[in-house]
Structure 1
Amino acid sequence: MKLREIKDMVNADVLTGEDILDMDVKYAFGCDLMSDVLSLVNGDTILLTGLVNIQTIRTAEMMDIKCIIYVRGKTPDELTINLAKEKGICLMSTQYIMFDACGILYKNGLKGAEHINGKSFDKSTL
């Protein structure tokens, strides 16, 4: 799914990275714990988070995440936005809460990061 489509689905404002909106991604991961992102995510994934500090950019860089969507209308400070520009990471902000933003993307065919490398948790235990 193209970042441009994702932007439209969650009615997001692009903060930086307009030049990569035609990039394709396969997965989404919604999380505020960057340690979980580090252990569960790799490329072809967008990150949805309410955490707006510079650590989100550092984590995205390490995990080859090319887009971060900040939920609840949050926007990072100028230092964080500038680092994202420098690293080629698209930043967006949506008014949706994380649950709704993830649900919209899932409903429209974007898979959760649990599907990376063919792994999926056992839903029969729910």
Structure 2
Amino acid sequence: MLLSDVKAEINAQVLTGENDESLGAVDIHNACGSDLMSDVLAFVKDQSLLLTGLVNPQVVRTAEMMDIIAICFVRGKTPPESLIELAKEQGIVLLSTKLPMYTACGRLYRKGLEGRKDAETL
């Protein structure tokens, strides 16, 4: 799924300055919704979208380690400018949606964006 499609499906705002044209070139392979970064470390693969309610530097640092290419803050959360700058430095796209995590994940799943395939056999 293209990141521009993700943005449209969950009515997200881009926080890192990318335009819709550049988002259309970013392909998301899977997604994870979690506020526990330990779960993200255990289950996320690269080219992923992370949906979370946390707005602290550990979120970006975790994304950097796991090659997550985009983070979407749910429930209308907006990170501080320092976090936005850190994400820009790492090349991570930040989005924000007013939707709760469950709804945002459900809409994306319904459109074909799945979680990690092998998680079903764990």
Whether these two folds match at TM > 0.5 is: yes
* Matching of residues 68-83 of structure 1 within 5 Å: 68-83=71-86
Q: Distance in 2 between matches of 1:66 and 1:44?
A: 6
List aligned pairs for 1:17-32, cutoff 5 A: 18=18, 20-21=22-23, 22-32=25-35
Percent pairwise identity: 55
Residue 103 of structure 2 is matched in structure 1 by 100
1:48 alignment partner, SS class: strand
- After superposition, residues 47-126 of structure 1 pair within 5 angstroms as 47-113=50-116, 115=117, 119-122=118-121
TM-score of the aligned structures, taking structure 2 as reference length: 0.92
Q: Which amino acid in structure 1 is aligned with residue 91 of structure 2?
A: G
Aligned length: 119
Shift, 1:17, TM fit = 5.2
> Runs (4+) of structure 1 moved beyond 6 Å?
none
- Cα distance in 2, alignment partners of residues 105 and 46 from structure 1: 10
Q: Are the counterparts in 2 of residues 17 and 89 from structure 1 also a CA contact under 8 Å?
A: no
Counterpart contact for 2:43–2:119, Cα < 8 Å: no
Q: Where does the alignment leave 5 or more consecutive residues of structure 1 unmatched? A: none
CA RMSD between the two structures: 1.4
Structure 2: which 5+ residue stretches go unaligned?
Answer: none
Whole-angstrom distance in 2 between the partners of 1:38 and 1:96: 24
Structure 1 distance, partners of 2:120, 2:94, is 29
Larger Rg: 1
